[in-house]
Chains A and B, each alone.
Chain A
Amino acid sequence: MNYSTALPDFIEMQRVSFCWFIAQGLNDELTMFSRIHDFSYNTEYRLFGQEYSLVKPVYTIVRAKKLAANYSVQLVIPLEVRNKKLNSVRYFGQFTIINLPLMTTTATFVINGCERVIVSQIIRSPGIYFEKNKNHRKRKQFKSQVLGHASKLGSFLPSGVPWIIPYDQPWKPWIIGKKLGYSKYNSNKDTKLDFYFYSLKSFKIYQKISKITNSPIKVQRIKLFLQWLKLNQKEFNFKNKLNLSELSFLLNYWNFIFKFIIKYQFLYKKNFEESYQIQESEFKTIFKTWNNQPQLNDSFSLKKIDQLTSNYEKKIQFYHNVIQQQFFDNLMLVPFITKEKKILNLESLANRQKQKKISLTLLTNESIKFAFYFSPSLKEVFKYRSPKKRKPKEAKIKQPILYLRSPSKIVQFKDDHQVLDSYKKKYDTKDFYTATLIPESGSWIRFGFQKNTKINRYQYPIRHQEDEVIIQIDKITQKPILYLLKEMGLTDWEICSNLKHADFFYFTKPFLTGSLTSKQPLPRFDLHSDYYKNISEFSHIFDARYYRLGKIGRFQINNRLNLKLNNRIYTITYEDIFAILDCLVTLSISKTTGDDIDHLKNRRVRSVGELLQNLFRVGFQRLVRKLGSQINKRESGQISSFNIIGATVREFFGSSQLSQYMDQTNPLSSLTHRRRISGLGPGGLDRDRISFAVRDIHPSHYGRICPIETPEGPNVGLIASLTTCARVNKLGFIETPFWRVINGKVIKTGNPIYLTADIEDFYKIAPADISTNSKNYLTQNLIPVRYKQDFITVSPFQVDFISISPIQVVSVATSLIPFFEHDDANRALMGSNMQRQSVPLMLSQKPIVGTGLENQIAIDSGMTINAQGAGIVHSVTADYIIVKEYSGRKLKYILQKYQRSNQETCINHRPIVWKGEKIKSGQILTDGPGITNNELALGQNVLVAYMPWQGYNFEDAILINERLVYEDVFTSIHIERYDIEIEQDDDVSEQITKNIPNLSFSEIQNLNDDGIVALGTFVKPGDILVGKIIAKNDSEQLPEAKLLRAIFGAKAKGVRDTSFRMPKGKYGRVVDRVTFNRKTKLAYKFEKIQVFIAQIRKIKVGDKIAGRHGNKGIISRILPRQDMPFLPDGTPVDIILNPLGVPSRMNVGQLYECLLGIAGHKLNRRFKILPFDEMYGPEVSRILINKKLRQASIENDEAWLFNPYSPGKMVLIDGRTGKEFENPITVGNAYMLKLIHLVDDKMHARATGPYSLITQQPLGGKAQHGGQRFGEMEVWALEGFGAAFTLKELLTIKSDDMQGRNETLNAIVKGQLIPKSGVPESFKVLLQELRSIGLDMSTYKIENYNLNQHYELEVDLIETYDSLEKTFPPTSNLDDISF
């Protein structure tokens, strides 16, 4: 036995939270807004928040409920209004800021007379979360390597070149890119142009290949590529056949040229721009000359190239010298310069001949040059930058080989390439993650990746785009994170040195460069200083007023990012951002899973107190904004502005999603409502876009949130219930208790240890149903434990903790189900939900088979009266109990008699103590609704048989014995309230009176002089509750009356009866009347009258009853007791359930329950069964029941109770025939509940009634007195039967044919033939819709001219209804029909 019987106070969470608010939370808010200025800063409002006081409520709870008022206190704060200019105090005094609704002792609020509950909210905790982008398509490596279709290369071709893809002449398919392979340029047409294409293509292909990081594939691809080159040599028009080495040289050559050009140029440009402005013009002229070359494709001859090259050589030489002079000691430049030197040397060393040779082989066909020019990245470079690059390229022809082959060179230039290569390796295949920073107040901040096309030219030139990290504070506002950091004044060096993954943002590491000028690392992306010169709205994220992490946020962030910031720092810091960036990049490349947002360590509960605190903050912020926008002119001050806080509070209590009308059907429902945890509401989830993951059960829910109790339907999983033992800690995380286990011994001394979800993951925790011996040692050798959200088995010595109770996992309502471990989860869910719907019965019984929680639920539900102090009962009557406490004080407890609950059930207290009885503090003095003798008693124990009976229990229908009717077994009391408003304004002036014209005496005999029905009257449908008359105005009067009035003056005013009558199908006894008066100058006038009507509802056919295991059904028939099957001792069965309701629903618990029930009934004993009893051995539940049945059969000497051949089944005898049924039948005592879905509330019929104004179709629903919808499928049925006339009737006069239905009604009344139906409105709508899409539709009337001829007459259907004709739609009142 590992459970402790003492459970925590079930509504502690709510009460503690509210007390915290009153004691601390309110204070915090008040101090935060202690000084408020107006617009001019002349007036200062000072709130002395520390000295607030609460004034005793005006209305007590009972009076507030009765008078539809609030149960609230006045929050009074000393307020000083000070004129700062004059330094004078304008106003000082105790100022009532708001009326704060007060929580009752049962954790409810009384707002407008009805009890409301503020449901706790579960929200994502403030902190930082990393998530993998879900909808981001993972970039396919392969796809990115090969350019898709050849046609995409079109842009690379000189314009005007024909571009044909011949189909008849298929290209030899190339292995890498199929698409590319099939399209080829028509080689027969123009070999020269052909070459552009192929060279371009080959270049592109190579480019893709070279990006592949995986080296074996790379080699393979290159080989393939070379093969391809060889294959297509013809098309390339190479003069000679290229051998492999030449090809590879070609490739390397390309590769290097690009790299070098860019790099060199960058450096060059930088230095050049900085110190040699003059040269630029010169440079530009060159550029121009180069650029002004006629069309590149054909006029660029070798000669010109030579000319240019020599030009460049000179230039480079010149610049080189300049640079050398200037930056000789610039380390950064050294490699480049030396390189440059070498190139130049090579050139000057008259290697030109050799070079030419090679270049001729390659470059005689000048087109290869164009390949470079057309490369988009290059294009840009050439467009804006120096033309000089032509030079090095040619010069370097030999160089790459040299450069690459020498290991020393490679080492020398390692840094240039290393960074790049490592970047590619590191980041190229990264996943995309997003970091979401949730502050306590303020919008969410997201950090994510985004493609940036503005790449620093340092980069490998061919790449067009690169991912960078952006920060996003709302849907639109986003910017690169580097901008933000620089904007805040951080230097590149600072950023770089603080980031672990600086190479994601920077090419170089700062410490590798020692020079002055390149002290800063080189950013990967182009950062225009314009973008971060000004401080943008992003800087708000460091401002506590806009973004506040709060205590929890700081705690969570420190935890997640391993930071050690002071936990009083409530704002975001740079350190946070650096850590976030590092973590984000690390995650992206390591591709580990992100944070689990559904884990309970990342979700916290916001209870009443905190919600109220937030509310106050919002209210005060509104106030500050309001005061700040106005100037205080008059002396009176804008103290009235403080109303805004009250308005905010009122709005929250009245209409917030979390402030809910309390479910008061029975004590259990009100208790669970207060323990409910909603994921919806402001700041929570939006119901429309919620993934399944949020609704799912999570391993961390164990012992915290019930996996069973949640509503069915759209809210499934979003609204949950706190488990029995869970509690909410100060930070708002849910904790659940465990016993410590050390060396296999359960340490049960002292209090259990409460663990939150994040801590729990690190321990091996055994479930509660592990058996221990008397010395608290675990007895099993292998113990299943939960560890890091997984199940493993370990030896007892490794167990760290053990759960304290098997019902720790489930909610209060679920824990009331005995044997629920034998039920399917879905049915257990229904069972726990249906218990909340059960109506308190007039006579309720405690369950024979319970779970032992009934007592505590009854105590904590707040529906009983609990003694406030110990003492002796002095007197007990139905209205009050007086307890004489030991202190000598006499305390009078007033009982609630027949009060209406929110769900129109009856709340009634019945004393259970006797005079002279000793009372302990907290002891229950009365029974409440659904509470009998200190225990929850929602239903009745009835004898149930599982057998079919004449098909009357087909599809879950239920047969009951009439005993349940006449013995009031399932009789409940319902109290309805009717609000009757008396309108009194300028137009209408209603009066309540007994003097109503044209009524017989019997109709008004129960009204008092004011015209209100007397207490204790039994009212039937149509009876007057409040007699009202209204003076007829002119338009309603007959013409002759008008004439009379005109002649004789205004005396002849008539009155009209507007009395409030009992609605159809409602009856009952008037138990209470409340009148609300309004004081006018002369006298009191009635404003509103509430009449309470109580009715006793016996169970009847159509009512819904259910067991606790989700076995629900509708009563189909009530059988006389002699017809019911009876037990071998003559007892007729009470309820017959369908046995087919069990196997498919898998709620076997009901069978266990009913069998143990009958055993308990026979033994006159009750059982408390805690679920999960398998810890005592296999099949313990079954063994227990067999044992108890056998015991009962022996003790009562009734052998039929236990038949060893079919245990639990009995031979039943048919009450009608007296014969035994063929097979033994399962019979038992089950605990059944009557649910609040009663036929009386649902039954409804309509002949005629109101119609919708727009569609002219009948309204729907009982409340509107609507009709039954005759839907699509019903129409099909009629169509299937060919019931044409019925269908026509339903679609015309019974629906929206206005004229038709009026005429039909008149015809029926007059007894004439029913006229032909007209055109329904919906047909007119159809016509108009067809017209609206441009169809010329018109309607014609066909009339016979004579026998053979007929003519057509166009009819305008829309106009046929003449509004002047004054035939209004018939109402339910026949009086208005004119004949």
Chain B
Amino acid sequence: MNNFYIKCLKSKKVESGSIYGQFVIKSLHPGQGITIGNLFRRVLLSDLGGTAITGVRIAGVRDEFSTIPGIREDILEILLNLKGIVLKSKTNDLKFGRLKIKGPAVVTANCIQLPSEVEIVNPNHYIATITTSNVLEIEFKIESGTGYKLAGQTFCKKSQDYLQIDAIFMPVQKVDFKIENIYDNSNDLTERLFLDIWTNGSMSPEEAVSSASRFIISFFSSLLENKLPQETKESENKTLSAPKNPHTNIAIEELHLSVRAYNCLKRAQINTIGDLLKYSPEKLQELKNFGRKSADEVFTTLKNKLGIVLSN
């Protein structure tokens, strides 16, 4: 193995913050070009992480289909504009940004006050225009990740105060590779791999290449170590452990409960004693239509018939 190195041939800023870089890897064996090139391309496109705004909270706004008085854009438009802000962050944890501007003003990305570790790549990015003397106040939630996260996909309750934005973390926009055959003096065939990388500016192409390499290395190094995860063993154990309680598989019909209690249990998918035992007395009483009387009935029958006392 001779020493491979990657050389940056070109690096320039294209419009709107995106950076282009061209690299070359020389003296590869025939066929290695495509292996490495394709690997690089796919890793660069899919596995690099980034930072993006994932949610905003705008003062006086409940949903994305409303407007703020005095502002030229409606909320959805502002959200779409915010989606275009490219952030550069040193850490991967959750951060918050803030924006408060009194009009009349044109709001661009550099108006956002961000924690020190976050930097805006395209500060001239347009967000909104305030026509009157109203105040626009926005709080941003900034997250890191890989790939993209769509707003509509999460139905969680937390989303209620934050309006979610589709977050695109992917820093690399476009990758292209080309392989050239080189015949050296001894008429040996070697390959030369050119990599063209366009990033969105949150990462320079060099960084992208190095982080891609790091990703690949960490991936393969974990393969080298080849630590089998312990979870599988645990699960095996689980399946092995036989049910301790001999009553687990007894149907609750055996208890001859009253109709009310029986219906309640059935509705809660409690079909066997085993299912029933998973419930604590408190939890049991939370069932629909399952009052104290029914609970008492269940406890007494369990105790009388099977000698089980529900605990927890």
Contact = CB atoms under 8 A, between A and B. Distances in A.
A453 interface: no
Given A1096-B152, A1218-B38, A1016 B71 contact: no
Interface stretch (B61-69, B218-226, B233-241): B61-69
Given A877-B67, A966-B148, A1096-B152, A842 B45 contact: no
A716 B140 CA distance: 55
Contact of B267 (A875, A962, A1374): A1374
A146 B174 CA distance: 91
B266 A1309 contact: yes
Nearest to B37: A1218
A336 interface: no
Contacts of A1018: 63, 155, 159-160
Q: Residue among A843, A966, A1069, A1379 with the most chain B CB within 10 A?
A: A966
A1098 B150 CA distance: 9
B259 A1129 contact: no
B41 interface: yes
Contacts of B259: 1379
A1067 to B, nearest CB: 8
Closest 7 CB pairs of A and B: A1130-B176, A1016-B62, A1218-B38, A1016-B63, A878-B67, A1122-B45, A966-B148
A1069 B63 contact: yes
B131 A1016 contact: no
Given A876-B72, A1016-B66, A1218-B41, 15 more contacts: A842-B80, A878-B74, A878-B77, A897-B66, A898-B74, A965-B150, A966-B150, A1016-B63, A1018-B63, A1018-B159, A1069-B63, A1069-B64, A1098-B150, A1218-B38, A1374-B267
B176 A898 contact: no
B72 A878 contact: yes
Contacts of B77: 878, 910
B263 A1094 contact: no
Contacts of A1217: 34, 38
B82 interface: no
Given A897-B74, A911-B72, A968-B80, A1069 B46 contact: no
A877 B37 contact: no
Contacts of A1120: 45-46
Contacts of B177: 1130, 1218
B73 interface: yes
Contacts of B155: 1018, 1020, 1067
Interface of A: 842-843, 875-879, 897-898, 908, 910-911, 915, 962, 965-968, 973, 998, 1015-1016, 1018, 1020, 1067, 1069-1071, 1094, 1096, 1098, 1120-1122, 1126, 1128-1132, 1215, 1217-1219, 1309, 1311, 1374, 1379
A1129 B68 CA distance: 43
Contacts of B63: 1015-1016, 1018, 1069-1071, 1094
A926 to B, nearest CB: 11
Interface string B153-183: 0010001100000101000001111000000
B196 interface: yes
B267 A1311 contact: no
8 contacts: A910-B73, A1069-B63, A1071-B65, A1096-B152, A1120-B46, A1130-B196, A1217-B38, A1311-B251
Q: Residue among A898, A915, A1071, A1379 with the most chain B CB within 10 A?
A: A898
Given A1309-B266, A1374-B267, A1379-B259, A1122 B80 contact: no
A1067 B68 CA distance: 24
Nearest to B38: A1218
Contact of A1122 (B46, B73, B74, B160): B46
Q: Residue among B63, B67, B174 with the most chain A CB within 10 A?
A: B63
A1071 B174 CA distance: 38
B288 interface: yes
Interface of B: 34, 37-38, 41-42, 45-46, 62-74, 76-77, 80, 83, 129, 131-132, 148, 150-152, 155, 159-160, 166, 168, 174-177, 196, 198, 251, 259, 262-263, 266-267, 271, 288-289
A1219 B34 contact: yes
Contacts of A1130: 41, 174-177, 196, 198
B176 A1126 contact: yes
Contacts of B70: 877
Nearest to A911: B72
A942 to B, nearest CB: 16
A907 B195 CA distance: 45
A458 B116 CA distance: 120
Contact of A1311 (B129, B168, B174, B271): B271
Contacts of B64: 1069, 1096
A895 to B, nearest CB: 9
A1186 B148 CA distance: 38
A968 B81 CA distance: 12
Given A878-B73, A1379-B259, A1131 B174 contact: yes
A879 B69 contact: yes
Contacts of A1374: 267
Contacts of B46: 1120-1122
B131 A875 contact: yes
Contacts of B66: 897, 1016, 1071
Q: Residue among A843, A998, A1098 with the most chain B CB within 10 A?
A: A1098
B228 to A, nearest CB: 29
B213 to A, nearest CB: 17
Contacts of A1071: 63, 65-66
A898 B69 contact: no
A1094 to B, nearest CB: 5
A1215 B176 CA distance: 10
Contact of A1218 (B34, B196, B198): B34
Contacts of B76: 842, 973
A1069 B163 CA distance: 11
Contacts of A1309: 266
B44 to A, nearest CB: 8
B68 A878 contact: yes
Contacts of A1069: 63-65
Contacts of A908: 74
Nearest to B179: A1218
Nearest to A910: B77
Nearest to A1374: B267
Contacts of A1379: 259, 262-263, 266
Nearest to B74: A878
B74 A966 contact: no
A1098 B34 CA distance: 35
B237 to A, nearest CB: 30
Q: Residue among A879, A910, A1120, A1309 with the most chain B CB within 10 A?
A: A879
Contacts of B74: 878, 897-898, 908, 910
A150 B37 CA distance: 99
Contact of A1128 (B41, B68, B148, B176): B176
B194 to A, nearest CB: 11
A898 B65 contact: yes
B268 to A, nearest CB: 12
Contacts of A1131: 174
A74 B150 CA distance: 52
Contacts of A968: 80, 83, 166
B176 A843 contact: no
Contacts of A915: 131
A1018 B266 CA distance: 32
Q: Residue among B62, B65, B70, B71 with the most chain A CB within 10 A?
A: B65
A259 to B, nearest CB: 95
B148 A879 contact: no
B65 A876 contact: no
Contact of B131 (A877, A962, A1070, A1132): A877
Nearest to A1311: B271
A855 B35 CA distance: 50
Contacts of A1218: 34, 37-38, 41, 177
A877 B69 contact: yes
